[in-house]
A and B are shown apart, each in its own frame.
Chain A
Amino acid sequence: MPTPGSTPIFATVVFAQNKPGAIVSIPPLAAPTTFVMRAGVIETADGRELVLPDEATRARVLEAFGNDSSSVFVVEAGPLGFVADHAITVEGEA
């Protein structure tokens, strides 16, 4: 579960016409971290929740992740470009 009191990260989700999976785009973070899927919620290592735009989008992301966890990944994107992409691990499999 997200750490109580931690600041959520509002994500943009990108789906592709010809590809399964999704990009979960977030602003650049202040410090390196990892991402984990825990109880249907994507979180940073320190418990910050990546909030997806709506329930329908969240359901699509979870379905894609369930089919192939490597098809959903996080990208740090700023106003001038991209910083890095990150895999999302499943809790207990990191």
Chain B
Amino acid sequence: MSGQLNRLQAFLADAGELEIVAPPASTRPDYFGRFARLLGATLVASHVHAAAAPGPETSVSPVAAPPAAAAVTRDPDATRAAIMSVKQLSARYLAHGRAPLQPQINMLNPDDDPEEGPVALIAPGEVCRVDGVRADYSKADPRLAFMAGTEQMRAMLLIHESMHCRVGPALIKHIQQFHSPMVLQYANIFNESSADAMAIPTLARKDGVPVALQALDRVVAVRAAEAVSPDADGFHDTRETLKRVRTLLINTPEKLNSDSSTFALAITETLAGASKTFKDALPPDRQGYLATPEFSADMAQFHKAVEKMADDYLHGVFHLGAPQVALNRMMVPPGTPSVSPEQLFLAKRAPAPGFTVTSLREQAEAITASVIAAAGGQATRSVAASASAPAQHANTVLAIGRLRSHLGAIYAVPAGEALAEHEHAEVDEPARPK
């Protein structure tokens, strides 16, 4: 890819001041949302292959049983072709020089890991890494087979897991900063609610409200079935949030296509359901907690955090904590109730990454400079003059860096304060919410 930016280099050499004319905020791309949609479309269209026609979606009973394992199968040829297509997509989107580490999308062959379900892993420093998503979860978990039984649901699953990666760093930071006895429980509830609250409206934006409502019915059915399961963790019971998502889709669909701040607020409003779930899930010996000043302070803080998280992940602040959707052996095995969800949650935290946002940015600049230097060595006639003069070449590097900063300011972080705060913070420790 090093030879593909010669026009840009030539233009920016001695370019002087740059005048940047950006489109209105409402039409600026939401890079993460776009990438999720792009991935979803690719995976659903070419990778994921359901041989059997799915059953009716709109009449799903809240306690409906999952379909038989044989209802969903896969086509090895389609899988192989899709793996190749996603690799090509990855190579194109995450081209050399664009990312600080070594991001790529690795599609695992489902035959290598036939028993795994989708799990989101947070890997700071990676732009976007998808280790595997597939259609046939029937061998692993009938619930997942039911949940992934339609194209829309597979897209919803992908977005849901990606959202864990998006919001995870903020949640971990929140847990570290606030030592309320209930903060971990609330964070776990919020984690699942926010993923569902983001996934369904995103699906609505892509495929329309009727399709999203069908997916919503199915998610509600799955959540209801989970809630009565002996293995219920309580965190995945997002039904209160989903009620508000339904209200959003039916009563105020115009918010779906509004600007980012309105959409973020709409998502936040649906997350009031997470607060209700939290209250309802408090054990009897903690019910008095609701009447304490500590609870009031926590609620106020949580809602501020919700606003901040919704705004941040819509505006890409957490792009360094990037989506990694993997098929790892992260499912809680049946018959292991002695391990608490809190222990599992904490056990899944990987070691501290050993780098900061600032050092990552410096690393990215160094890589970019090396790419530009390599391109200069093979320069075409149009840039030969600038490549032959070191000072001029350095100016070109600076000009490209300035342009990147300008574009980044326009697209990624409208809230300058949020960026400043994030830039000076340590990279959040990774977590692996399911």
Contact = CB atoms under 8 A, between A and B. Distances in A.
A12 B100 CA distance: 24
Interface in B226-249: none
B98 interface: yes
Contacts, number: 120
Interface in A1-46: 10-19, 21, 23, 25, 27-32
A51 B1 CA distance: 26
Contacts of B16: 16-19
B7 A73 contact: yes
B129 to A, nearest CB: 14
A79 interface: yes
B319 A80 contact: yes
Contacts of B304: none
A19 to B, nearest CB: 5
Interface stretch (B88-96, B107-115, B337-345): B88-96
Interface stretch (B132-140, B209-217, B405-413): B405-413
Given A12-B407, A17-B15, A32-B92, A79 B319 contact: yes
A19 B11 contact: yes
Contacts of A25: 407
B31 A53 contact: no
Contacts of B316: 79
A86 B41 CA distance: 25
B8 A23 contact: yes
A78 B92 CA distance: 11
B34 A27 contact: yes
Main SS of chain A's interface residues? strand
Interface in A69-94: 73, 75, 77-87
A81 B21 contact: no
A15 B18 contact: yes
A54 B97 contact: no
A22 B38 CA distance: 28
A81 B31 CA distance: 12
Interface residues of A, number: 37
A83 B99 CA distance: 10
A12 B410 contact: yes
A30 B38 contact: yes
B421 interface: no
B385 interface: no
Contacts of B15: 16-19
A17 B8 CA distance: 15
Contact of B27 (A10, A32, A75): A10
B19 A10 contact: no
B93 A28 contact: yes
B410 A85 contact: no
B22 A12 contact: yes
A81 B367 CA distance: 11
B29 interface: yes
Given A79-B316, A80-B127, A53 B22 contact: yes
Nearest to B23: A10
B99 A79 contact: no
Interface in B1-40: 1, 4-8, 11-12, 14-24, 27-29, 31, 34, 38
A66 to B, nearest CB: 18
A30 B89 contact: yes
A10 to B, nearest CB: 4
A14 B183 CA distance: 46
Contact of A81 (B23, B28, B34, B364): B364
Interface of A: 10-19, 21, 23, 25, 27-32, 51-54, 57, 73, 75, 77-87
Interface of B: 1, 4-8, 11-12, 14-24, 27-29, 31, 34, 38, 41-42, 89, 92-93, 95, 97-100, 127, 316, 319, 364, 368, 400, 403-404, 407-408, 410-412
5 shortest interchain CB distances as A-B pairs = A17-B16, A16-B15, A18-B16, A84-B4, A81-B98
